């Protein structure tokens, strides 16, 4: 079993590229937590893109990201601390990618719908929502068919499905990632 440290150092960045993260993009990491994905993406973007790392900090993880930004002198991550509202303080058609990684299950039905709508609004045409499918079928009532349908209803077309080892909470777990695109 790969350790989290090894995954972050080696496979993580390769997988993030395979998911579609590229130099120059603007990325919203909704519910970024300690910023494992934001920091990996920041290495790919270098100085030509930006990550908007949004979190309400209800799990107290944001401090870890702030420490990493200071320690590694990261210039391309901007933290957006919210009070948990699902209205994204970014302009329409502003970002290339929205990451919804291990947060969807924490939202209620109305919030889930709002997050998909808000993601569509802030995405540029041709941009995509990348969803890391955690907690499927469990106590949180997450059903993939329902998510695909909700994305479609809101203008986001499922185009890519990847099966990869991903960071989840404190371990590495074989996961599904779905990319839903906004029509160009
Ligand atoms: C399990 S962590 C996932 C962190 C990160 N996305 C990852 O995959 O490692 C979930 C994060 O979502 C945040 N969160 C929960 N509800 C939120 C909301 N309504 N708005 C913004 N962030 C929220 C929590 O504070 C926490 O940092």
* Residues 179 and 159: beta-carbon distance below 8 Å: yes
pLDDT of res. 102: 98
Q: How many A from CA of 105 to the centre of ligand 1? A: 10
Q: How many A from CA of 103 to the centre of ligand 1? A: 5
pLDDT in tens, 144-168: 999 999 999 999 999 999 999 999 9
pTM for the full predicted model: 0.98
Does the pLDDT value for residue 183 go beyond 90? Answer: yes
Q: Is 81 helix (H, G, I), strand (E, B) or coil?
A: strand
Q: How many A from CA of 181 to the centre of ligand 1? A: 22
**What pLDDT band is residue 138 in, cutting at 50, 70 and 90?**
confident
Pairing of strands 26-30, 50-55: parallel
Atom of ligand 1 nearest to the CA of 99: 6
Q: How many A from CA of 142 to the centre of ligand 1? A: 16
Across the range 36-65, mean pLDDT stands at 96
Atom of ligand 1 nearest to the CA of 57: 25
Residues in the chain: 184
Q: How many A from CA of 73 to the centre of ligand 1? A: 23
Q: What tokens were used for 105? A: 């299950």
pLDDT in tens, 55-99: 999 999 999 999 999 999 999 999 999 999 999 999 999 999 999
CA–CA separation, 118 and 112 (whole Å)? 10
Task: Give the residue, by CA position, lying nearest to ligand 1 atom 1.
Answer: 102
CATH number of domain containing 41: 3.40.50.150
Could you give the number of structural domains in the chain?
Answer: 1
Atom of ligand 1 nearest to the CA of 33: 27
The separation between CA 151 and the C-alpha centre of its own chain, rounded to angstroms, equals 15
Ligand 1: which residues within 6 Å by Cβ? 31-33, 36-37, 54-59, 61, 82, 84, 101-103, 106, 167, 169
pLDDT of res. 146: 96
**What residue numbers bound the domain in which 81 lies?**
4-182
CA–CA separation, 37 and 16 (whole Å)? 8
């Amino acid at each position: 079993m790969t350790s989290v440290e090894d995954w972050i150092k080696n496979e993580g960045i390769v997988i993030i590229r395979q998911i579609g993260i590229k130099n120059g993009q603007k990325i919203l990491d909704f519910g970024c937590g300690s910023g494992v994905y934001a920091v990996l993406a920041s290495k790919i973007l270098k100085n030509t893109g930006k990550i908007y790392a949004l979190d309400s900090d209800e799990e107290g993880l944001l401090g870890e990201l702030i420490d990493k930004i200071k320690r590694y002198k990261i210039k391309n991550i901007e933290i957006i601390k919210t009070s948990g509202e699902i209205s994204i303080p970014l302009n329409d058609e502003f970002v290339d990618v929205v990451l919804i990684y291990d947060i969807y299950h924490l939202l209620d039905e109305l919030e889930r719908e709002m997050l998909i709508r808000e993601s569509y609004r802030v995405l540029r045409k041709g941009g995509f929502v990348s969803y890391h499918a955690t907690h499927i079928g469990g106590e949180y009532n997450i059903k993939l068919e329902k998510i695909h349908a909700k994305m479609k209803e809101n203008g986001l077309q499922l185009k890519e499905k990847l099966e990869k080892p991903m960071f989840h909470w404190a371990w590495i777990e074989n996961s599904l990632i779905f990319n839903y695109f906004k029509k160009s």
